[in-house]
Structure 1
């Protein structure tokens, strides 16, 4: 066992989740190098409509989004939480350069490999845009930026990442986010909208098995980094969607009675058919989005939809009103 990892947050969180009843794992740990690769593939698979819908919004409506920010802020920095590979954000950044309203982009991501990729590649695609990637916790990095300068900010939280929280958790997240912002700053949030339940289930259970592999990869990461002996073939992937609450939840189901041992001799027992709760992908109605903004203390500015109204990028402003 690597002594340096004994008290790592990763180990602590994994063992805490697997010792709970019911068992759970935190979705932020999906994103190791292999997880990043699998998620990029998921975003381009036919069933995963979210990426195409948001790319349509940003490719066609970035000017309007930025105009609504520039009306009150003039020049501003663009900060992105959970930046990923930047494939959709580049539309907004290109438009910001054309409009001369921003020349500074701070992508923040928990994945060091994604930040390294952006730092190395994105600047060459955006002459005139300073790309300064930050790897780490969103709020830790925002605190650094808050003390570094007082430039107005447009904070991006795209890709329906907000859906990885239940609504009450989302309210707390945005209240905390607001504490790092100043009056007049803006936030652009991606929301997946409630729609035909089968369309949603298909997006999280693609025929190619990418989402299944993405979930199982976290068990493989635990094996590699914590010396566990998960047998991946003894777990099945199971998504469910509740059209009333809008919660699409993913589970890994143990297919037999089994015991998993870690490198510190910790043993986690599973009963046959016992679930591990992996993540939620929350869907919202337009009314629920408005309510969330109000509860978190933001002023809604404008909502931007794809042509099928499957997805929305919603602009909020920090206001004293």
Structure 2
């Protein structure tokens, strides 16, 4: 049993305002559901960033200022299934760049699938996978003095509150050497009619993805959540620029978690906060970067200007 999982579930459900961390969405079932989400018509984020990686690959490489004959490490935090990154990897390989790819993910299952897939599609690629939490893995980056390019795509930084994002960027900056680069993907602030459906699709996949976290607690911590007694509720306002997801209790109820030997009480309509997805503009990003040594080099937009990939350099 994952002791961190057990502790975090206990802490989150014991709080006056209940929370469950989105990083625990990703078990085997959660991984599969998120792949489905990325292919939903409503979920524009993956398509928009893929647009950038597919059609502006040379712009990315030029902005990163890397040389074919200088070895570097390409580190991807939260690699997932690597769909977008493969567009970059293919070009780097075809143009004989000297590098190693280090995908990082909290899900061992996702990493194993990605490595197997890469071994088939890109057999000459040097891959070294790393399983763990972003913050833990950042510490290990310091052990290598090779030049680095760090990919943090999919607006994963948007899953952090602003203060946490500042801390993350500061720690990332401190883990890198001068002239190392970061490619940071962020979702841009847009109207509610575009953003909210991405977290509330008509087919109910996102709902299943969120509620699967309760299944995971049932399976791994011997709990008795009745999934049908909870609903999925996303919220978003353009003014705030943050999409929030909640699991909501449909009735007054009690849930026992055997591994904790505790019973948790839920009021009718009580919310469990599971996820935020911060949307960005230049002003917000500048605030996030202000206490780091990372500086903006360029900004690449998809064809609809829904999404941005910023190239940052440590200086």
Q: TM-score, normalised by structure 1?
A: 0.94
Could you list the per-position Cα deviations for residues 207-244 of structure 1 after superposition, in whole angstroms to 9, with x for gaps in the alignment? 01011000000000000000110011111111111212
1:110-149 matches, within 5 Å, as 110-147=106-143, 149=144
State the match for 1:64 in structure 2.
Answer: 59
State the match for 1:34 in structure 2.
Answer: 29
The answer to whether the 8 A contact 1:103-1:128 is kept is no
1:69-84 matches, within 5 Å, as 69-70=64-65, 74-84=70-80
Could you list the per-position Cα deviations for residues 66-116 of structure 1 after superposition, in whole angstroms to 9, with x for gaps in the alignment? 122235894421000000011110001112123333431000000000111
Q: What is the Cα deviation at residue 295 of structure 1?
A: 3.5
Unaligned residue ranges in structure 2 (runs of 5+):
none
The answer to whether the 8 A contact 2:141-2:176 is kept is no
Which residue, out of 273, 281, 287, partners 1:285? 281
Unaligned residue ranges in structure 1 (runs of 5+):
none
Could you list the per-position Cα deviations for residues 233-256 of structure 1 after superposition, in whole angstroms to 9, with x for gaps in the alignment? 111111111212211100111010
> What is the alpha-carbon distance in structure 2 between the residues aligned to residue 183 and residue 120 of structure 1?
33
> What is the alpha-carbon distance in structure 1 between the residues aligned to residue 92 and residue 303 of structure 2?
23
> What is the alpha-carbon distance in structure 2 between the residues aligned to residue 40 and residue 15 of structure 1?
28
> What is the alpha-carbon distance in structure 2 between the residues aligned to residue 96 and residue 261 of structure 1?
52
State the match for 2:177 in structure 1.
Answer: 182
The answer to whether the 8 A contact 1:17-1:25 is kept is yes
1:82-101 matches, within 5 Å, as 82-101=78-97
Q: Once structures 1 and 2 are overlaid, which stretch shifts more, 13-22 or 237-246?
A: 237-246
Q: TM-score, normalised by structure 2?
A: 0.95
Q: What is the Cα deviation at residue 21 of structure 1?
A: 1.1
> What is the alpha-carbon distance in structure 2 between the residues aligned to residue 238 and residue 141 of structure 1?
32
State the match for 2:206 in structure 1.
Answer: 211
Could you list the per-position Cα deviations for residues 1-46 of structure 1 after superposition, in whole angstroms to 9, with x for gaps in the alignment? xxxx4x8111110010001011000110000000000000000000
Does 1:265 find its partner at 2:261? yes
Q: Once structures 1 and 2 are overlaid, which stretch shifts more, 101-110 or 116-125?
A: 116-125
Q: Once structures 1 and 2 are overlaid, which stretch shifts more, 56-65 or 126-135?
A: 126-135
The answer to whether the 8 A contact 1:237-1:253 is kept is yes
Q: Between Structure 1 and Structure 2, how many residues are aligned?
A: 313
> What is the alpha-carbon distance in structure 2 between the residues aligned to residue 103 and residue 177 of structure 1?
20
> What is the alpha-carbon distance in structure 1 between the residues aligned to residue 66 and residue 90 of structure 2?
19
Aligned to 2:104, the other structure's residue is in SS state: strand
Aligned to 2:212, the other structure's residue is in SS state: helix
Does 1:252 find its partner at 2:264? no
State the match for 2:217 in structure 1.
Answer: 222
State the match for 2:192 in structure 1.
Answer: 197
What's the RMSD between the two structures over aligned residues?
Answer: 1.5
